[in-house]
Homo-oligomer: A and B are copies of this chain.
């Protein structure tokens, strides 16, 4: 549980404080769009002491996924929200299938989460 980040001696270009303007420019989006996405709960950037939004790299990747779903696939924000919820559950149950522990408990857990996924789709 030590530092999971790479050894940033000093030359790493990892800007830890990504403000909304640089994030928007880097993603090709409007800052207002990012604000609305947070307002809808699609992303959750941290806040500095002065209530300014700070985006992490994981959230940038999440925003890239959102942009793809909206621009390329033409999916609604409500649909993106539901799809991301499905993706979260999927990410959680993936190690249950790839894991080497083939106990009945994990299998039962897997079935349970799969049914939970079905509930998200109106089944």
Interface residues of A (CB under 8 A from B): 65, 68-69, 73-76, 78-80, 82-84, 86-87, 90-91, 93-94, 97-98, 102, 107, 110-111, 114, 117-118, 121-123
Q: Give Cα distance in the complex from A83 to B90, angstroms.
A: 13
A94 to B75, CA, bound (A): 26
* Chain B: minimal CB distance from A3 (Å): 26
Task: Please give the count of copies of this chain that the complex contains.
Answer: 2
Once the chains are docked, how many angstroms separate the CA of A76 from the CA of B78? 7
> Is A79 a contact partner of B75 (Cβ separation < 8 A)?
yes
State the majority secondary structure of interface residues on A: helix
Residue among A83, A91, A110 with the highest chain B CB neighbour number at 10 A: A83
Q: Give the distance to chain B from A120, nearest Cβ to Cβ, in Å.
A: 8
C-alpha gap A98/B31 in the complex (Å): 46
Q: CB distance B76 to A74 under 8 Å?
A: yes
Asked if A97 contacts B110 (CB within 8 A), the reply is: yes
Q: Of B65, B80, B121, which is within 8 A of A86 by CB?
A: B121
Closest chain B residue, CB of each to CB of A109:
B97
Contact of B90 with A121 in the complex, beta carbons under 8 Å: yes
Once the chains are docked, how many angstroms separate the CA of A75 from the CA of B111? 26
